[in-house]
Structures are given as C-alpha cells and as structure tokens.
Amino acid sequence: MTNSIKVTNPATGELIQEVKVNSEDEIKQALKNGHESFKSWSKINAHERSRLIDAWSQKIKENKEELAHIMTLENGKPLKEALGEVDYSASYLDWYAEEGKRVYGRTIPAHTESKRIIVTQQPVGLVAAITPWNFPGAMMARKAAPALAAGCTFIIKPAAETPLTAIKLIELAHEAGIPEHVIQYVNGSGKQIGELFTESEYVRKITFTGSTPVGKTLIQDSASTIKHVSMELGGHAPLIIAEDADLDFAAKQTIATKFRNAGQTCVCANRILVHESIVDAFTEKFVAEAEKLKVGNGLDSETDIGPIINEKGFDKIVSQINNAIEKGAQVLVGNKFDVDKEKGYFFIHPTVLKNVTAEMDIMHEETFGPVAPITSFKTIEEAVEIANSTPYGLAAYFFTNNYQTGTYLHENLDFGIVGWNDGAPSAAHAPFGGMKESGLGREGGLEGIEPYLETKYLSIGNL
Ligand code: SIN
C-alpha cells in the first residue's frame, strides 16, 4: 500500500497489517456523512438506540477471543489483560444502553399562571474522538457508547499504533445494525486529522484521551468553532501508604496499579509515598511481589509485563531511571532491558527505586512504564503536600484503615479519582476524569453522558 500505516507487534517488531491512510477529501466526506446521518439517528427513539448498542455489546462478547488477540498483537499487553479490556469495553456499552433511556428533562414551576417552563436534553451532534494506544478498545467504548446512546453520531481517529481494534469494533457495530455513517473511523496523521476535526463545521464535539500538550492544542483549535470538548489527559498519580496500612494488601494493590499494561496507563501509581516508620517493611514486600512478575510476549499465558509501545516511550522511561540513579536513587530490582532497536522491540523489567527525592525527573513527569519510585514522608500533611505538588490531578491512591486519616486524605487530595484501599477503581458506572491539567469532563457513570447533551429551555406563554 502506498499511503499506509504499518501496524507492528511491539513484542517482536513484526509487521501485522498495513492500514490505509485516508485522504483529506475522504475525511471531509466522512465528516459530512456523519453530520447527515445525525438527522436520522437522533430521531430514533432511545429504546431502539439502546437495543442496537446492546446488540453491538453482544457481538463484542461473542468475538471476545479474537478482539483480545488483536489487542495483544498491536498493543503488546498480556492476553489476560486484553481479555479483561474486552469485558471492560462491553461494560460501557451495557451501561450506556441503559443510561440512554434515562436522559430526563424537567418542568420548572413558572412565575406566572400564563407560562409553562420546560427543560429538555438533546444530542450535541457529530462527535469526533481521538483515542490512545494504551486501551485501544475501552477508550473508544467509553466515548462511543454514551455518544450513540445520547443520539449523537460518532467518528474516531484511533492511535496509529493500534488502529486494528477500533476497526474490528466498528465492523461489529455495523454487523449489529448500527448504520454505517453513524459510527465511522478514519486513519492518518494525528496532526492533520486533529485539525480537520477541530475546523469542521460538522463536528460539534471533540473528545480526546491522550497527552496534556495535545489536549491543549485541541482545546485551542476547537475555540474557532466553539465546540464542546472533553479531555482525559495525563496523570502523575501519587500512592500514599499510611502508618497503619495493611502492608501485604497494600503491596499487592500497588503492584496491580503500578504494573497494569506495563505501567502504560494514565492512572498508574507514579509516585509511591510511604510513611517513614514502615517504608522498609513495605518496600521488602513490594519488591518480593515485583520479582514474581514475568516479562515477555503478551501472547504467552505466563506473561505479566508486555513490551513498551515504542522507542520514544522506552527512551523516556530509561532517561527517568538514569536521572534518578545519578541523583542518588538505589535500584532494588530491575533496571534490566530486552531490546532490539533494529527489529523494534523494547522490554523493561519491573524496576523499583528507593530513596527517590523531589529533585528527580520521575517525581515530576509521567513515566508510562514499569518503574516504581519509592519515597518516604513523616506526616500525613506532608504526604498530601507532595501528592498535590503537580499540575496533574487524575488519580490518587491511599492505604489506611484509620477513618480519620482516610477522610483527611480523601478531602485534601486534588484528584478526580481516588482509590482508598483500592488499586483498581475504574468502572463503567463510575465517573472517570481529572482535575487541573489532567482534563475536562468525566467519562463513565451518570456524568459520562452529559457531555454529549445540550440543554434546551422552552418557555410557553400566553396560556
Ligand atoms: C487510562 O489509562 O487512561 C485508562 C485506564 C482505565 O480506564 O482504568
């Protein structure tokens, strides 16, 4: 194919498939088609839309093994995590198939007998989504499900590294009976498609999951046509272990949040803050758990940690490790790599760093890799100060069985998602999203359908 994206397996560097790059004219035509089909899709009643979304979910469940296989091939994540992601994706469809039936309006008591005041909700229009490579199924489902349920049409530009999952999901949506132009994909350069999406008069909403700098550009570019925007951006999650925490439980949960998807999630614990009185005991348990993790090709059922997505991601992680070591951090396990730059694969073994300090890059930048930096604190107030000293505000975790400490942490951490004795808080029925430079809006839960709706106020007079 002349103009194509080469999708490769990050575990081997091998070519999986070439995907056609859409021309500017094709993308513009797809936007026009999405806009035109909005007229009919938004008029279909919510129960029928729900039935179609439900049929799509059934197709996903029937094709679970194939979808998971595609995800592992293009993203590298262990097959067991990919199977979990297929279920997680379907759970968004299941939730919003129901929520779409509950888009209620309201009547407001009028200030005079001759008037009635009525508020209704209507879909915003064509939604354009840009999704990341780290969850190629779930991040699409989290956007497409509420959009379609609300009555919007949907177009997606999946990440260039992982377009195959989105293509398969859309094939299944069409097989389930969702009309061709109601849900569509386009492929090509992120910059070009981002510009076409934001400039287009047909697109009424941009929804993006990805880095904070790209999110800022999309917000700026959306200003010219005043589009709705939802942004799920970077994170730099603190994980606090209080003096009284159950250390065995905390160590296992910290492993789960830190090493999911080889540390390549926005909600991964990025800074592990442990009370000074238990830092050695916790670290010992945590290292023992980290040593059990198997690194390898995600298709191998034994694998816990797959590859890093690409060389750029690998270089950033290695530079953070080196910077920390230069500034005095001690490596307790890991700092080992299986790399073949020519073939194009990059594996990093789970790495635990001790004696990490505020001067190190890893304490300021998102890592997106399997590296766990541990530092200690003296008081819970100090832990909160360290935790909040970042422009990011996506997820935070803490472990304590003391309700006063827990309440204090919950109330004072400036993060949109908080896990209290819980390293895996994400769920389709709960709001996911960040404060500060981690984003705008929420996905999932009751909140997740609101960004796809406009409020219309009707005042009837002369009664
Ligand atoms: C993300 O990393 O952005 C998504 C993770 C999740 O949904 O739990």
For residue 265, with 0-12 CB atoms within 10 Å meaning exposed, 13-18 middle and 19 or more buried, which class applies? buried
> 420 with 406: CB under 8 angstroms?
yes
| Beta-ladder partners of 3 | none
| CB distance 408 to ligand 1 below 6 Å | no
Contact between residue 224 and residue 198 where contact means Cβ atoms under 8 Å apart: yes
Query: Atom 3 of ligand 1 has which residue's CA nearest to it?
Result: 266
Q: Strands 392-393 and 435-436, how do they pair?
A: antiparallel
User: Nearest to residue 307, comparing CAs of 273, 356, 332, 341?
Assistant: 341
Which 8-state DSSP code applies to residue 443? B
CATH-assigned architecture of domain 237-427: 3-Layer(aba) Sandwich (3.40)
And the tokens for 347?
């594996």
* First-last CA distance in the chain: 66
Kindly give the residue spans of alpha helices, DSSP state H, lying in 293-422.
311-326, 380-388, 403-412
Ligand 1 pocket member 88 (CB < 6 A) = no
CA distance linking residue 96 with residue 50, whole number of Å: 8
Q: List per-residue pLDDT tens for the chain, 463 residues long.
A: 669 999 999 999 999 999 999 999 999 999 999 999 999 999 999 999 999 999 999 999 999 999 999 999 999 999 999 999 999 999 999 999 999 999 999 999 999 999 999 999 999 999 999 999 999 999 999 999 999 999 999 999 999 999 999 999 999 999 999 999 999 999 999 999 999 999 999 999 999 999 999 999 999 999 999 999 999 999 999 999 999 999 999 999 999 999 999 999 999 999 999 999 999 999 999 999 999 999 999 999 999 999 999 999 999 999 999 999 999 999 999 999 999 999 999 999 999 999 999 999 999 999 999 999 999 999 999 999 999 999 999 999 999 999 999 999 999 999 999 999 999 999 999 999 999 999 999 999 999 999 999 999 999 999 9
Q: In sequence order, what DSSP letters do the residues of 96-119 get, joined into one string?
A: HHHHGGG---EEE--SSTT-EEEE
* 4-233+438-460 shares its CATH topology with 237-427: no
Give the CA dihedral 426, 429, 431, 433, nearest 10 degrees: 40
How far does residue 444's CA lie from ligand 1's centre (Å)? 11
Sequence ranges of the domains in the chain:
4-233+438-460, 237-427
- Nearest Cα residue to atom 7 of ligand 1: 426
What separation in Å is there between the alpha carbon of 374 and the centre of ligand 1? 22
Q: From 77, 426, 438, 443, give the residue whose CB has the most ligand 1 atoms within 8 Å, as the site to mutate.
A: 426
Closest listed residue to residue 271, CA positions, set 256, 282, 258: 258
Quote the CA–CA distance of 173 and 175 in Å, as a whole number: 5
Query: Which CATH superfamily includes the segment(s) 4-233+438-460?
Result: Aldehyde Dehydrogenase; Chain A, domain 1 (3.40.605.10)
* pTM metric for this prediction: 0.97
d(CA 366, CA 90): 28
